[in-house]
Homo-oligomer: A and B are copies of this chain.
Amino acid sequence: MSQVETTIATPGGALPDRFAEVRGFSERLAAPLSAEDCGLQSMPDASPVKWHLAHTTWFFETFVLEKLPAYQEFDVSFRYLFNSYYNSVGEQFPRPKRGLMSRPSLEEVLAYRRHVDAAVAELLENGAGCDPVLADIVEIGLHHEQQHQELMLTDVKHGLSFNPLRPSYADGAFGSTTDAAPLEWLPLEEGIRWIGHDGDGFAFDNESPRHRVFCESFQIANRLVTCGEYLAFVEDGGYRRPELWLSLGWNQIGSDDWAAPLYWFEEGGRWREYTLAGAVDVDPNRPVCHVSYFEADAFARWADARLPTEAEWEAAAVETGDAGAGFVDRLVDSGYAVHPGAGGLGSQSLLGDAWQWTSSPYAPYPGYRPASGALGEYNGKFMCNQYVLRGGSCATHSTHIRPTYRNFFPAETRWQFAGIRLCR
Distance from A245 Cβ to chain B, minimum over Cβ atoms (Å): 7
| Cross-chain contact of A247 among B212, B243, B384 (Cβ < 8 A) | B384
A359 close to B (CB within 8 Å):
yes
Residue of B nearest to A373 (CB): B243
Distance from A329 Cβ to chain B, minimum over Cβ atoms (Å): 29
Report B-chain residues with C-beta under 8 Å of the C-beta of A249. Answer: 384
Q: Which of A29-37, A60-68, A132-140, A257-265 contacts B (4 or more CB under 8 A)?
A: A29-37
Report B-chain residues with C-beta under 8 Å of the C-beta of A2. Answer: none
A114 close to B (CB within 8 Å):
no
Distance from A24 Cβ to chain B, minimum over Cβ atoms (Å): 23
Distance from A249 Cβ to chain B, minimum over Cβ atoms (Å): 7
Q: A359 to B368, alpha carbons, bound, how many Å?
A: 13
**A34 and B192 within 8 A (CB):** no
A99 close to B (CB within 8 Å):
yes
Number of interface residues, chain A, beta carbon within 8 A: 64
**A160 and B80 within 8 A (CB):** no
**Contact indicator per residue, chain A 87-119, by CB within 8 Å of chain B (1) or not (0):** 110000100010111111110000000000000
**A214 and B216 within 8 A (CB):** no
Residue of B nearest to A377 (CB): B243
A199 close to B (CB within 8 Å):
no
Find residues 134-166 in chain A having any chain B CB closer than 8 Å to their own CB. 159-160, 162-165
Residue of B nearest to A211 (CB): B216
Distance from A368 Cβ to chain B, minimum over Cβ atoms (Å): 9
A270 close to B (CB within 8 Å):
no
**A39 and B248 within 8 A (CB):** no
Report B-chain residues with C-beta under 8 Å of the C-beta of A294. Answer: 384
Find residues 28-51 in chain A having any chain B CB closer than 8 Å to their own CB. 34-40, 42
A4 close to B (CB within 8 Å):
no
**A159 and B102 within 8 A (CB):** yes
**A242 and B87 within 8 A (CB):** yes
**Contact indicator per residue, chain A 116-130, by CB within 8 Å of chain B (1) or not (0):** 000000000000000
Report B-chain residues with C-beta under 8 Å of the C-beta of A243. Answer: 87-88, 376-377
Distance from A148 Cβ to chain B, minimum over Cβ atoms (Å): 18
Report B-chain residues with C-beta under 8 Å of the C-beta of A212. Answer: 214, 216
Distance from A258 Cβ to chain B, minimum over Cβ atoms (Å): 16
| Cross-chain contact of A164 among B80, B85, B359 (Cβ < 8 A) | B80
Distance from A361 Cβ to chain B, minimum over Cβ atoms (Å): 3
A213 close to B (CB within 8 Å):
yes
**B382 and A247 within 8 A (CB):** yes
A-B contact pairs, 23 of them (CB 8 A): A34-B105, A36-B36, A37-B102, A37-B103, A77-B164, A77-B165, A80-B164, A81-B164, A87-B250, A99-B99, A100-B162, A102-B160, A102-B163, A102-B167, A103-B160, A103-B165, A192-B192, A213-B214, A246-B382, A248-B384, A361-B361, A361-B363, A385-B411
A residues bordering B, Cβ < 8 Å?
A: 34-40, 42, 77, 80-81, 85, 87-88, 93, 97, 99-106, 159-160, 162-165, 167, 192, 211-216, 242-243, 245-250, 293-294, 309, 359-361, 363-364, 366-367, 376-377, 381-385, 411
Given contacts A77-B165, A248-B384, 12 further A-B contacts (CB under 8 A): A34-B105, A36-B36, A39-B39, A40-B102, A81-B165, A88-B243, A99-B99, A100-B159, A192-B214, A243-B377, A359-B363, A359-B364
Listed from nearest, the 5 A-B pairs whose CB atoms lie closest are A361-B361, A87-B242, A36-B102, A37-B102, A247-B381
